[in-house]
Structure 1
Amino acid sequence: MSAPEHSEHSEHSDDGIRLSKRLAEQLGCSRREAEIYIENGAVQVDGITVQALGSRVHPAQTVTVNEGAKLQEAPPVTLLLHKPAGYTVRNPQGARGHTRGKVGNAYDLLVPANLADMDTPAPLLVLDKHFRNLECLLPVPVPASGLMVFTQDHRVARKLQEDALHLEQECIVEVRGTIDEDGLERLCDGTAIDGKRLPRIKVSWQNETHLRFALKGIFPEEIAEMCECVGLEVTGMKRQRIGRISLAKLPEGQWRYAMPWERF
């Protein structure tokens, strides 16, 4: 008999009643349906939108639901981030703010305040739910900057995982030193690293200190070793594109939503 008493006390206490229970009683719907309204940002308590499922309300507080709110779960999202150099992707879920040392955590940049003001459409409401259970795909090395992909969508994750070796990635690489006489050819034909055969790729000079790499079957973390084997030291790297999605004008440290019609 003690378990039901404890359950009742957890629902009704001096801190009020759970918002989801109050809303379910108010609308005559299930608790899960009430939670969907809350997660979708459609519920206000005393005129303030509340999205946290564990929120509690007192009897005197007014709970309302947006007119025309749809009872369907918000679709999963994919976020595109311009990661600054020096940021890792450690401690992904539920561990923000615990990155050690001077290395920042790219997940900490995925907050509403860092949504880029661009001409790319965004949902009418940025939901707390959009920042949960995000998986980082095809990361770049900590010293590198550029395009990063974080997704809740299992279809996007599967696409990037299965096609990782076939998607072209474009990186601009800053180098110093003197390249070997046949260095550019070796970078292109896959023989830059002694004893290791790499796929053919496209490498060209942008200017005296920057090379453009168009990679397939090679990951950005291998570029430094490739350059070292032809007499160059990598001093900076920025990924500009993954497949058909580019960094474009996305400001450093900010993110945007990937649109439904965009394909890698």
Structure 2
Amino acid sequence: MTEPLRLSKRMSELGLCSRREADEWIARGWVRVDGKVVSELGSKVLPHQRITIERQASAEQARRVTILINKPMGYVSGQAEDGYKPAVTLIGPDTRWSEDKTPQQFHPSQLRSLVPAGRLDIDSVGLLVLTQDGRIAKQLIGEDTSIEKEYLVRVKYSKPGRLPDSDLRLLNHGLSLDGKKLLPAKVSWQNDDQLRFILREGKKRQIRRMCEAVGLKVIGLKRVRIGRVKLGDLPPGQWRYLRPDEQFQ
């Protein structure tokens, strides 16, 4: 017999929303199981039961925004730390990219519950996603995410000569961090001092630590793509909305 699951967990598994959103909707009476409203937090369901959400929940979800920003150096991804400002402070009507053609109007309320879906170190630049939508956050940073992130990394070799091919192969597969083997990556030379990294995971300072392990020092690091969404021509310090026709996977 299949074990019952917590309703909020099941809703998250089905991609309806995040667990936090599910709990909010359940408390508001916006969730039905097999046609009946379930408003008690912690309620459980069986996998075959049909879960539907009220129109109010769908409408609220549709109003949630996802913002792409070209993070400059010197800003942190999330909460302010060590006197450095978070990237969200760059978002306002004056810094919206003039080429952003989405009809969405900016309103300060969009900054509430706007969280980074993945980190980008303070000394790294490029594509950072901030979202109010729990479904997108789960896609990008959930435990089982397989969405690729692509980086251009300028490096300097600390030993005489050039990085051996065997060490390039190690960067692609074979390194461990914090006692755990890394997933296979795609790492290739773009020119004499720049590597392209494509990863499906995001451990803290992963690329810098991978490079250190083979004697490379990172001089500059820029994220240029997350899944199908590219940084493109978005200028540093400016932002745009995720378009309705864009998807990360």
TM-score category by the smaller chain? Answer: 0.5 to 0.7
State whether residues 174 and 181 of structure 2, in contact with CA within 8 Å, keep that contact through their aligned partners in structure 1.
yes
Count of aligned pairs between the two proteins: 185
Letter in 1 for 2:220: G
Q: Deviations over 1:180-213 (max 9, x none)?
A: 4521011012337696421211111111111000
2:90 to 101, 109, 115: 109
Could you say what secondary structure the match of 2:235 adopts? coil
Equivalent-residue separation in structure 1 for 2:168 and 2:70 (angstroms): 28
Change beyond 3 A, Cα 1:100–1:205:
same
Match of 1:149 in 2: 129
State whether residues 172 and 237 of structure 1, in contact with CA within 8 Å, keep that contact through their aligned partners in structure 2.
yes
State whether residues 141 and 221 of structure 1, in contact with CA within 8 Å, keep that contact through their aligned partners in structure 2.
yes
Q: Give the gaps of 5 or more residues in structure 2.
A: 1-58
Letter in 1 for 2:77: V
2:142 to 162, 168, 171: 162
Change beyond 3 A, Cα 1:152–1:248:
same
Equivalent-residue separation in structure 1 for 2:104 and 2:210 (angstroms): 45
Match of 1:52 in 2: none
Quote the RMSD (CA, aligned, Å): 2.4
Change beyond 3 A, Cα 1:191–1:89:
closer
Equivalent-residue separation in structure 2 for 1:116 and 1:169 (angstroms): 23
2:230 to 230, 239, 246: 246
Equivalent-residue separation in structure 1 for 2:86 and 2:197 (angstroms): 26
Considering only CA atoms, is the larger Rg found in Structure 1 or Structure 2? Answer: 1
Change beyond 3 A, Cα 1:230–1:192:
farther
Note the C-alpha offset of 1:121: 1.9
Give 1:130-149 correspondences, 5 Å limit. Answer: 130-149=110-129
Match of 2:67 in 1: 79
Letter in 2 for 1:209: D
Change beyond 3 A, Cα 1:76–1:232:
same
Letter in 1 for 2:117: L
2:168 to 184, 198, 204: 184
Letter in 1 for 2:154: E
Change beyond 3 A, Cα 1:127–1:193:
closer
Q: Deviations over 1:232-260 (max 9, x none)?
A: 01111000011110101100000000012
Change beyond 3 A, Cα 1:184–1:100:
closer
Change beyond 3 A, Cα 1:263–1:181:
closer
Q: Give the gaps of 5 or more residues in structure 1.
A: 1-71, 93-98
Letter in 2 for 1:107: V
TM-score, normalisation: structure 2: 0.67
Change beyond 3 A, Cα 1:235–1:154:
same
Note the C-alpha offset of 1:139: 1.3
TM-score, normalisation: structure 1: 0.64
Equivalent-residue separation in structure 2 for 1:226 and 1:100 (angstroms): 25
Note the C-alpha offset of 1:261: 1.9
Give 1:4-15 correspondences, 5 Å limit. Answer: none
Equivalent-residue separation in structure 2 for 1:159 and 1:193 (angstroms): 23
Could you say what secondary structure the match of 1:249 adopts? coil
Instruction: Report percent identity of matched pairs.
Output: 39
Note the C-alpha offset of 1:105: 2.3
Q: Deviations over 1:125-161 (max 9, x none)?
A: 3222222220111111111001001111222122223
Give 1:229-244 correspondences, 5 Å limit. Answer: 229-244=213-228
State whether residues 82 and 247 of structure 1, in contact with CA within 8 Å, keep that contact through their aligned partners in structure 2.
yes
Equivalent-residue separation in structure 2 for 1:91 and 1:214 (angstroms): 26
Q: Does 1:208 align with 2:192?
A: yes
